[in-house]
């Protein structure tokens, strides 16, 4: 019998899980993963930066913050038709979720937002799960996105509340939590995770996982990013993320949030197929596909197809949860 999904994890329990001997941790995570999910299935999401660079925030990792000179060209909001072309290309390549990212601190109620709402409608009509990551949202804006057909909203906590000020000073952890609350209340699914390699301690990672896994409802997806080190940002000289730290983080997230999609996100270009296989074994069941994340490189569709064949993985169909519900009702 499956253990029920819990949201009353204590920091001590999470500490003990995170610090288990690695192979025992992976074994336990793989076992839970098998009980809750089809382990052969991996959700394939494609990202598109619909508005690039020039952001007023000071996130120390980010190539798109205006205050660091990272060589990213500022680009205004793309046209809807162009975005839909990219979405079609992603769909043809086997992607079932399309995520549009904007380098905004927050959404403003203006014509740009109306255009994003149109994009959401268009991608939704193509039969893909639509996701956006646009910065902070009000309750009203979240509802407008929901009405346009938004399926998921990505808004990361990035690290622990305690370490947050070391990485971002232009907004607070509570700002982040408020937006997540607005998204949840609008009935849009939540995609929320973090980054490792920012200089945080293992305890900071444990605390972030505690915040995520004790939310009244777990995020439907949790992206785990390995820092992509960007020249010109304050974190440019940070050491490369150790693959075993990534595996430990994914395995712990899988045990704490067994029914969530755990996404092996940024950092895959620096990982071998063997290393990524460890992440899938530890419970990752989602990736970003396509040769670009927002501004940095990512493995190509072809490389990922080869990896899927080698490891016996298959892309998850769109709207799987809804289809399951419909089938149960008939």
Min dist CB 146 to ligand SF4, Å, is 21
What is the number of alpha carbons within 13 Å of residue 55 lying toward its C-beta?
28
Site for ligand DTB in 116-145 (CB under 6 A): 133
Q: Is 214 exposed, middle or buried (0-12, 13-18, 19+ CB in 10 A)?
A: middle
Angle at 105 between CA 102 and CA 110, to 5 degrees: 70
Q: Measured between alpha carbons, how far is residue 238 from residues 61, 64, 230 in Å? A: 10, 18, 10
Binding-residue pattern over the window 57 to 86 for ligand DTB, x denoting contact by CB under 6 A: ------x-----------------------
103 binds ligand SF4, rule: CB under 6 A: yes
Cβ-contact 44, 99 below 8 angstroms:
no
Catalytic status, residue 263: yes
Indicate which residue of 45, 97, 99, 279 is catalytic.
99
Min dist CB 289 to ligand SF4, Å, is 21
Q: At what angle do helices 202-213 and 11-18 cross, to 10 degrees?
A: 120
Q: What distance in Å separates the CA atoms of residue 142 and residue 136, rounded to the nearest whole number?
A: 10
Question: With CB under 6 A as the contact rule, which of the stretches 52-60, 86-94, 183-191, 272-280 interacts with ligand SF4?
Answer: 52-60
Nearer to ligand SAM, 30 or 177 (CB): 177
What is the number of alpha carbons within 13 Å of residue 116 lying toward its C-beta?
29
**Where does this chain bind ligand SF4 (CB under 6 A)?**
55, 57, 59, 62, 64-65, 103, 105, 135
Interface ranges with ligand DTB (CB under 6 A)? 47, 63, 101, 133, 154, 156, 193, 223, 225, 228, 265-266, 293-296
Which residues form the catalytic set?
55, 59, 62, 99, 131, 191, 263
């Amino acid at each position: 019998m499956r253990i029920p999904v819990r949201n009353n994890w204590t920091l001590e329990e999470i500490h003990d899980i995170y610090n288990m001997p690695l192979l025992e941790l992976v074994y336990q995570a793989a076992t839970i993963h098998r009980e809750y999910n089809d382990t052969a299935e991996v959700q394939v999401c494609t990202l598109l930066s619909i508005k690039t660079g020039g952001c007023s925030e000071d996130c120390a990792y980010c190539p798109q913050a205006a205050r660091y000179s990272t060589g990213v060209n500022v680009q205004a909001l793309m046209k809807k038709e162009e975005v839909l072309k990219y979405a079609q290309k992603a769909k043809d390549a086997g992607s079932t979720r399309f995520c549009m990212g904007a380098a905004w601190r927050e959404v403003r109620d203006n014509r740009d937002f109306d255009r994003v709402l149109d994009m959401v409608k268009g991608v939704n009509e193509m039969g893909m799960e639509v996701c956006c990551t646009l910065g902070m949202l009000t309750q009203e804006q979240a509802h407008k996105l929901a009405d346009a057909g938004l399926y998921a909203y990505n808004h990361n906590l990035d690290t622990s509340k305690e370490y947050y000020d070391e990485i971002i000073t232009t907004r607070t952890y509570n700002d982040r939590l408020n937006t997540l609350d607005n998204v949840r209340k609008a009935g849009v699914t939540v995609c929320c995770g973090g980054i490792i390699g920012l200089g945080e301690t293992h305890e900071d990672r444990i605390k972030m996982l505690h915040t995520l896994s004790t939310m009244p409802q777990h995020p439907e997806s949790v992206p785990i990013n390995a820092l992509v080190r960007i020249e010109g940002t304050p974190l440019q000289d940070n050491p490369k993320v150790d693959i075993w730290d990534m595996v430990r983080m994914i395995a712990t997230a899988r045990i704490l949030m067994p029914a969530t999609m755990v996404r092996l996100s940024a950092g895959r270009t620096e990982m071998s197929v063997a290393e990524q296989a460890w992440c899938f074994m530890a419970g990752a069941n989602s990736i970003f596909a396509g040769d670009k994340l927002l501004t940095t490189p990512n493995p190509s569709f072809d490389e990922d197809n080869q990896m899927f064949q080698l490891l016996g993985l298959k892309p998850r169909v769109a709207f799987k949860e809804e289809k399951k519900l419909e089938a149960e009702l008939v």
